[in-house]
Amino acid sequence: MGDRVRARVSVSGSVQGVFFRAETRQEALSLGLDGLVRNVPDGTVEAVFEGERESVERAIKWCRSGPPGARVTGIGVTREEPRGESGFRVVY
């Protein structure tokens, strides 16, 4: 088993109202990740990915383009200490 890591990702652009949260959840689940995704009032989407390093990196890479309807103009990544998240949820 590899290192467990955690990353908080802020995605800007046309990312709300384009199924970004639902598609991010599907991507995270397919990679075996825990965490959450939510819309932020400033128009960005924030995702927290926790799991194996390689899977977290793949999820971050996915966020750089997002689902087909999204237009990502920027992404910020903050590394955090793992918190033992369980499951991946969409926060409304």
> Catalytic residues, which ones?
21, 39
DSSP state of 81: -
Q: At what angle do helices 53-63 and 20-30 cross, to 10 degrees?
A: 160
Do the bridges between strand 45-52 and strand 4-14 make them parallel or antiparallel, or are there none, so unpaired? antiparallel
Helix (H, G, I), strand (E, B) or coil at 21: helix
Q: Does residue 43 come out as left (phi exceeding 0), alpha (psi in the -120 to 50 range) or beta?
A: left
